[in-house]
């Protein structure tokens, strides 16, 4: 951390922490909102049968690969003065970045959640129903059984959001206040600045911080999954 303070242009902990804070705020809020939208959508699709279900699922899966710069451009069009949300003055604000990351994270969370929900066997649903469960009880059982997959979905969405650069650069503008603290600059966009200005050492340090965050999230996901598997495998006996 010490070389960071020596090499960053603004050379201050305040600058560094403001970047991390903006990154976590934007990604955290985007993933929180995305989760609130994705879970009901995934559960609704997972629990129902309707014409075109496969097509809807395919569209969601395709959304996982949305080019982020295209998303950024579209979001900028929406929030710009001439756009439908122009009156809200969202362009080049953290909230616009939240919106673009929401668009990027939602398909990821929805798709993985849907996969987890559909991965719960019909036999489990039948067991719940056969013991007197209502449709709501059966749904609750499926959610509980899919819980590790749902957690993975949320963490994957966070991973996508925190490491994203293209769209937030477009809609956020990579702005720093005159006092050197970040307004819309995140770890990823700060790295682009450092790289462009040839301050590779600072860029690498920021990259390391970003990696630690992403690895931490992945480690958390792995730990939660292994905890579930550990419980499931318990005594390790499965044969009759």
CB 37 within 8 A of CB 104: no
Q: Which lies closer to other proteins via its Cβ, residue 126 or residue 179?
A: 126
- Minimum distance, C-beta of residue 225 to other proteins, in the bound complex (Å): 12
Please give the structure tokens belonging to residue 12.
């201050």
In the list 19, 112, 128, 206, the residue contacting other proteins (rule: CB under 8 A) is 128
Residue 76 phi, psi (nearest 5): -60, -40
The span from the CA of 57 to the CA of 45, in Å, is 8
Q: Which lies closer to other proteins via its Cβ, residue 10 or residue 137?
A: 137
Please give the structure tokens belonging to residue 125.
């649903």
- Minimum distance, C-beta of residue 228 to other proteins, in the bound complex (Å): 7
How many CA atoms within 13 Å lie on the side-chain side of 177?
A: 11
In the list 18, 76, 145, 217, the residue contacting other proteins (rule: CB under 8 A) is 145
For 67, residues 6+ apart whose C-beta sits below 8 A from its C-beta are: 166
Which of 55-63, 127-135, 175-183, 204-212 is the region at the interface with other proteins (rule: CB under 8 A)?
127-135
139 is a site residue for other proteins (CB under 8 A) = no
126 is a site residue for other proteins (CB under 8 A) = yes
Q: Which of helix, strand or coil describes residue 182?
A: strand
153 is a site residue for other proteins (CB under 8 A) = no
In the list 132, 178, 196, 198, the residue contacting other proteins (rule: CB under 8 A) is 132
234: left (phi > 0), else alpha (psi -120 to 50), else beta?
Answer: left
52 is a site residue for other proteins (CB under 8 A) = no
- Minimum distance, C-beta of residue 236 to other proteins, in the bound complex (Å): 7
The span from the CA of 141 to the CA of 127, in Å, is 10
Residues lying near other proteins in the complex (CB under 8 A):
121, 123-124, 126-134, 137, 141, 144-145, 228, 231-240
């Amino acid at each position: 951390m010490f070389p960071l303070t020596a090499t960053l242009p603004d050379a201050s902990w305040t600058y560094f922490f403001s970047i991390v804070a903006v990154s976590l705020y934007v990604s955290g809020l985007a993933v929180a909102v995305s989760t609130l939208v994705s879970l009901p959508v995934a559960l609704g699709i997972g629990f129902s049968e309707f014409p075109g279900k496969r097509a809807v699922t395919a569209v969601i899966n395709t959304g996982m690969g949305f080019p982020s710069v295209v998303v950024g451009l579209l979001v900028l069009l929406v929030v710009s003065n001439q756009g439908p949300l122009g009156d809200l003055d969202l362009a080049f604000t953290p909230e616009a970045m939240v919106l673009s990351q929401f668009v990027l994270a939602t398909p990821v969370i929805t798709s993985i959640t849907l996969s987890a929900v559909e991965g719960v066997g019909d036999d489990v649903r039948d067991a719940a129903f056969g013991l007197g469960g209502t449709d709501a009880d059966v749904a609750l059982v499926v959610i509980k059984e899919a819980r590790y997959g749902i957690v993975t979905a949320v963490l994957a969405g966070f991973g996508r959001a925190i490491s994203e650069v293209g769209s937030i650069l477009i809609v956020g503008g990579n702005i720093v206040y005159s006092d050197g603290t970040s307004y819309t600059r995140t770890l990823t966009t700060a790295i682009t600045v450092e790289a462009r200005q040839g301050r590779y050492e600072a860029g690498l340090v920021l990259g390391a911080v970003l990696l630690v965050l992403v690895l931490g999230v992945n480690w958390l996901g792995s730990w939660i999954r292994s905890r579930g598997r550990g419980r499931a495998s318990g005594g390790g006996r499965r044969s009759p």
